[in-house]
């Protein structure tokens, strides 16, 4: 049994290292969860509790070891798995976690890290769930491969950004199984569940009903299927698109496959294994919905296209060998565009835009370097083909699409009825084939024709456009949603899940080039006052909600904020918006190459920034081999042209960079990265503190840094 003093220190340290937003979520989860069958701590005691009060409440209510167990469980349930892993490791290793994070105070041990969203690495020894080793690669055929202890995961989650290929991957798995090429011995039955379609179900259903829909035989066959639940695989595609709450009590869940319940309870019962507990689940989702999904046994991230994949895609898309070579060479030489192409839908959009530019003999350099800019160019390529000059009609259709998209985003709705399409005048030839798909779905016992945007990201793009376009008197009384950017931003701040990409596009549409393109190509004016609303929101919301309380520093702690700021590409906007902020603290992020470009851009343009602290973050780098899924890409890093922190170091070497302190703890930094860090030490005239503790630098890495300290231009005062 651990002594009380030590447990006090462990809890205090764990709570002190929480960001303010996470501490609020911790208290909220604790207030309505019954752990260890001891009831709940009264909400009144929790509401005004600071971190020390909270530690004392935990100790008094649960007692010693149990208080630590409960804290770890709450961390896990609110998706702070890096914090859970660190607390568990500290308890088991017998080390103290200090109240204030200083160099060297984070737990020593494995150099692997655990992501806040579970799409990066977890600690090798004291992991919470089954995690593939850091050097491993997951393929479609090894998703359900037993771990080293022989345990086979029953729930596997495929995580991926918008347009990365989650649906295509899940359907490919289904087809390969049907062809006898995948999981032939493991599963006798595989059922594909489309979450969009689940949103349409209004009547109560049972698990057996869902199986019958896909296998419409007699009950004897169904009973045979249900009797072999260990041979069943449910592929649940698009979890993030579900409109339901999954915060169901155990009493509401069903345990029998013939029991009829609302669809959200049926799906919750499958997720939480109260029904068909021996069956297997494969769930696809965007990262933002992971918290709603809760705890699962294995996570794999869909990484998108490798360099070889991109090259192959270009050649197949263009068909014309000369055009394919010219387009790919242009993109390959443009680091930002080439990085954007790792997302399949962006590769498709970029190829579409470049092909039209080549056919019109235009300069390829017109291509944008932001996601929003490419969507605007793609929009233009569809609605303004050569020789077209019918702006008024297209302008009306464009506003109709924007209204439909915004209404759907607010209602978390992605399927639209024919009446909605007609009401907005979108049943015209210049609207439907371009951006809307027609779908035939089964709704209860009937079939229904519904419409959806060609991809969810396009709905989010048009929803953002709805908020930035200047008012049109003709649309005011047409049943369109109310334009209130402040309400949009407030809801985004409270729950980022379903509004994240919409707000990112909102920033991007305020880019000067996007404003100019929208007016010239579509005759649509973008309201300039939205920029002022954004600046005010950033400065007030970030300081009151997302910032860690500090007497001296105003802190930004969300990578998504930088993704948004990158889209706007406006130096004056960034200067005004980020004026109060002097510090960046990021925890548990898995940086794609595009994220690294974004971070470097923002570090260069945050003029008062003096401190960058990163904990348990990973940096993905370009690899010339083809991988589909992975939890890490550390292997063979020596063969690569640049280290994983190359882009960040390029920003730090910029003469305008004012950063004084850089911490990279638990970030899987190896000796290869030390060459770039050493170059920063020899160049930067302002960096005085560097902490790279708890990384696998090896002797070679340490030697590189020590040699840099001897350089006459090095101003470093502390190396940890």
pLDDT at residue number 36: 63
Tell me, what CATH number does 95's domain have? 1.10.533.10
Q: Identify the CA nearest to 555 among candidates 589, 587, 524.
A: 587
Token pair listed for 536 = 């005010």
- Taking 70 as the threshold, does the pLDDT of residue 118 lie above it? no
219 in a domain, yes or no?
no
Q: Are 577 and 539 in contact (CB under 8 A)?
A: yes
Where residue 442 falls among pLDDT bands split at 50, 70, 90? Answer: low
Model pLDDT for residues 153-195, shown as the tens digit of each residue: 999 999 888 888 899 899 999 999 999 999 989 999 999 998 8
Q: Are 544 and 413 in contact (CB under 8 A)?
A: no
425-446 average pLDDT score: 68
Where residue 249 falls among pLDDT bands split at 50, 70, 90? Answer: confident
Alpha carbon distance 198, 242 (integer Å)? 8
630 in a domain, yes or no?
yes
Cβ contacts of residue 299 below 8 Å, gap of 6+?
A: 118, 119, 129, 131, 156, 157, 159, 631
Where residue 235 falls among pLDDT bands split at 50, 70, 90? Answer: very high
Alpha carbon distance 548, 615 (integer Å)? 15
Do 407 and 460 share a structural domain?
A: yes
H runs (alpha helix) in 306-390 = 307-318, 321-333, 335-340, 344-359, 371-383
More confident residue, 384 or 11: 11
pLDDT at residue number 405: 93
Where residue 635 falls among pLDDT bands split at 50, 70, 90? Answer: very low
Q: Are strands 590-591 and 618-619 parallel, antiparallel or unpaired?
A: parallel
pLDDT at residue number 126: 26
Do 671 and 557 share a structural domain?
A: yes
Do 327 and 456 share a structural domain?
A: no
Do 701 and 587 share a structural domain?
A: yes
Q: Are 74 and 26 in contact (CB under 8 A)?
A: yes
Q: Which of 211-220, 321-330, 415-424, 462-471 has the lowest mean pLDDT?
A: 211-220
Do 622 and 504 share a structural domain?
A: no
DSSP secondary structure string, 530-572?
Answer: HHHHHHHHHHHHIIIIISPP-SS--EE--HHHHHHHHHH--HH
H runs (alpha helix) in 94-234 = 166-178, 195-198, 207-214, 219-226
Alpha carbon distance 654, 27 (integer Å)? 42
- Taking 60 as the threshold, does the pLDDT of residue 714 lie above it? yes
pLDDT at residue number 59: 86
Model pLDDT for residues 518-543, shown as the tens digit of each residue: 888 888 888 878 888 888 888 776 55
Do 486 and 470 share a structural domain?
A: yes
Alpha carbon distance 436, 427 (integer Å)? 10
Number of structural domains found in the chain: 4
Print the domain residue range for 437.
391-522
Do 397 and 351 share a structural domain?
A: no
- In what side-by-side order are the strands of the sheet with 298-302? 137-138, 629-630, 298-302, 155-159, 280-285, 232-237, 189-194
449 in a domain, yes or no?
yes
664 in a domain, yes or no?
yes
More confident residue, 5 or 49: 49
Q: Are 510 and 373 in contact (CB under 8 A)?
A: no
Token pair listed for 410 = 């607010």
233-260 average pLDDT score: 88
Alpha carbon distance 652, 664 (integer Å)? 14
Buried-state track 697-714, b at ≥16 Cβ within 10 A, e below 16: beeebeebbeebeeeeeb
668 in a domain, yes or no?
yes
Show which of 76, 100, 124 is a domain's final residue.
100
Alpha carbon distance 234, 4 (integer Å)? 46
DSSP secondary structure string, 388-401?
Answer: ---HHHHHHHHHHH
Mean pLDDT of the chain: 79
Alpha carbon distance 597, 173 (integer Å)? 33
Q: Which of 313-322, 423-432, 705-714 has the lowest mean pLDDT?
A: 423-432
- Taking 80 as the threshold, does the pLDDT of residue 121 lie above it? no
Instruction: HSE, CB side, 13 Å, CA atoms: give it for residue 145.
Output: 14
pLDDT at residue number 470: 84
Do 683 and 586 share a structural domain?
A: yes
Model pLDDT for residues 653-687, shown as the tens digit of each residue: 988 888 999 999 888 888 888 999 999 999 888 99
- Proportion of the chain above pLDDT 90, given as a percent: 21
Show which of 100, 120, 148 is a domain's final residue.
100
Do 434 and 377 share a structural domain?
A: no
- Taking 80 as the threshold, does the pLDDT of residue 712 lie above it? yes
Give 449-456's long-range contacts (Cβ < 8 A, gap of 24+). Answer: 449/418, 450/200, 450/415, 450/416, 450/417, 450/418, 451/415, 451/416, 451/417, 451/418, 451/420, 451/421, 452/196, 452/414, 452/415, 452/416, 453/405, 453/414, 455/162, 455/163, 455/345, 456/162, 456/241, 456/414
Q: Is 319 helix (H, G, I), strand (E, B) or coil?
A: coil
Alpha carbon distance 667, 121 (integer Å)? 10
Look up the pTM and report it.
Answer: 0.69
Q: Are 207 and 270 in contact (CB under 8 A)?
A: yes
Alpha carbon distance 678, 676 (integer Å)? 5
Helix (H) or strand (E) holding 123: none
Do 585 and 553 share a structural domain?
A: yes
More confident residue, 89 or 98: 89
Do 474 and 571 share a structural domain?
A: no
Show which of 100, 134, 156 is a domain's final residue.
100
Token pair listed for 191 = 């059922």
- Taking 50 as the threshold, does the pLDDT of residue 106 lie above it? no
In this structure, what DSSP letter does residue 471 have? P
Do 507 and 563 share a structural domain?
A: no
Q: Are 165 and 152 in contact (CB under 8 A)?
A: no
Q: Is 163 helix (H, G, I), strand (E, B) or coil?
A: coil
137 in a domain, yes or no?
no
115 in a domain, yes or no?
no
Q: Which of 2-6, 232-236, 317-321, 581-585 has the lowest mean pLDDT?
A: 2-6
| Ramachandran sector of residue 123 (left: φ over 0; alpha: ψ -120 to 50; beta: rest) | beta
Task: Give 512: exposed, middle or buried? Use CB within 10 Å, 0-12, 13-18, 19+.
Answer: exposed
Task: Give 251: exposed, middle or buried? Use CB within 10 Å, 0-12, 13-18, 19+.
Answer: exposed
320 in a domain, yes or no?
yes
- Give strand pairing partners of 665: 615
In this structure, what DSSP letter does residue 53 have? H
Quickly count helices (H) and strands (E) in the chain. Answer: 31, 18
Token pair listed for 503 = 């707000």
Q: Alpha carbon of 251 to those of 78, 204, 248, 256: distances in Å?
A: 22, 17, 8, 13
Model pLDDT for residues 462-477, shown as the tens digit of each residue: 999 999 998 764 445 4
Query: For helices 529-541 and 485-494, what crossing angle results, to 10°?
Result: 30
């Amino acid at each position: 049994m651990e002594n009380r003093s030590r447990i006090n220190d462990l809890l205090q340290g764990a709570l002190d290292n929480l960001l303010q937003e996470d501490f609020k979520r911790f208290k909220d989860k604790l207030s309505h969860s019954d752990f260890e069958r001891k009831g709940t701590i009264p909400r009144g005691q929790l509401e005004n509790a600071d971190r020390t009060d909270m530690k004392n409440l935990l100790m008094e209510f649960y007692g010693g070891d149990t208080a630590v167990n409960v804290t770890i469980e709450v961390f896990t349930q609110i998706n702070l798995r890096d914090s859970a892993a660190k607390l568990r490791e500290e308890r088991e290793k017998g080390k103290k976690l200090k109240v204030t994070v200083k160099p060297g105070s984070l737990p020593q041990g494995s150099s692997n890290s655990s992501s806040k969203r579970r799409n990066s690495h977890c600690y090798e020894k004291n992991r919470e769930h089954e995690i593939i080793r850091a050097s491993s690669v997951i393929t479609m055929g090894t998703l359900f491969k037993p771990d080293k202890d022989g345990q086979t995961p029953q729930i596997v989650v495929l995580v991926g950004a918008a347009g990365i290929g989650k649906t295509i991957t899940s359907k490919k798995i289904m087809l390969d199984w049907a062809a006898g090429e995948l999981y032939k011995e493991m599963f006798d039955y595989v059922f594909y569940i489309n979450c969009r379609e689940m949103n349409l179900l209004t009547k109560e259903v049972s698990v057996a009903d869902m199986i019958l829909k896909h296998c419409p035989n007699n009950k004897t066959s169904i009973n045979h299927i249900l009797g072999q639940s260990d041979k069943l695989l449910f592929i649940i595609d698009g979890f993030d698109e579900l409109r339901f709450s999954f915060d169901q009590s155990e009493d509401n869940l069903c345990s029998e496959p013939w029991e009829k319940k609302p669809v959200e309870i049926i799906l919750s019962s499958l997720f939480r294994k109260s029904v068909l507990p021996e069956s297997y689940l494969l769930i696809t989702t965007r990262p933002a919905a992971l918290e709603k999904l809760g705890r699962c046994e294995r996570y794999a991230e869909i990484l998108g296209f490798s360099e070889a994949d991109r090259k192959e895609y270009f050649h197949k898309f263009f068909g014309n060998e000369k055009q394919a070579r010219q387009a790919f060479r242009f993109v390959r030489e443009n680091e930002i565009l080439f990085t954007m192409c790792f997302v399949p839908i962006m590769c498709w959009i970029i190829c579409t835009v470049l092909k039209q530019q080549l056919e019109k003999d235009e300069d390829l350099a017109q291509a944008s370097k932001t996601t929003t800019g490419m969507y605007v160019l793609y929009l233009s390529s569809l609605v303004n083909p050569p020789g077209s000059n019918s702006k008024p009609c297209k302008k009306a259709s464009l506003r109709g699409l924007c209204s439909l998209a915004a209404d759907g985003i607010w209602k978390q709705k992605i399927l639209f009825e024919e009446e909605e399409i007609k009401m907005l005048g979108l049943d015209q030839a210049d609207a439907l084939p371009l951006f809307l798909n027609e779908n035939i779905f089964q709704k209860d016992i009937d079939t229904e024709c519904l419409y959806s945007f060609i991809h969810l990201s396009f709905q989010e793009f048009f929803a953002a456009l709805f908020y930035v376009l200047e008012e049109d008197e003709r649309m005011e009384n047409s049943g369109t949603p109310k334009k209130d950017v402040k309400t949009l931003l407030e809801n985004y701040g409270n729950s980022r899940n379903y509004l994240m990409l919409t707000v990112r596009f909102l920033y991007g549409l305020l880019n000067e080039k996007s404003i100019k393109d929208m007016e010239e190509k579509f005759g649509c004016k973008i309201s300039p006052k939205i920029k002022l609303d954004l600046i005010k929101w950033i400065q007030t919301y970030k300081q009151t909600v997302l910032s860690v309380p500090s007497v001296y520093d105003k802190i930004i702690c969300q990578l998504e904020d930088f993704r948004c700021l990158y889209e706007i590409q406006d130096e004056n906007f960034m200067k005004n918006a980020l004026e109060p902020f002097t510090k960046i603290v990021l925890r548990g992020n898995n940086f794609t190459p595009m994220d690294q470009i974004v971070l470097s851009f923002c570090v260069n343009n945050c003029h008062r920034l003096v401190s960058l602290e990163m904990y348990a973050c990973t940096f993905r780098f370009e690899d010339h081999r083809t991988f589909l899924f992975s939890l890490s890409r550390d292997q063979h890093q020596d063969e690569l042209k640049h280290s994983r922190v190359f882009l960040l170091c390029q920003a730090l070497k910029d003469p305008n960079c004012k950063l004084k302190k850089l911490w990279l703890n638990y970030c899987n930094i190896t000796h290869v990265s030390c060459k770039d860090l050493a170059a920063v030490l020899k160049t930067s005239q302002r960096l005085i503190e560097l902490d790279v503790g708890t990384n696998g630098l090896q002797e070679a890495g340490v030697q590189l840094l020590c040699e840099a300290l001897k350089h006459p231009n090095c101003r470093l005062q502390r190396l940890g």
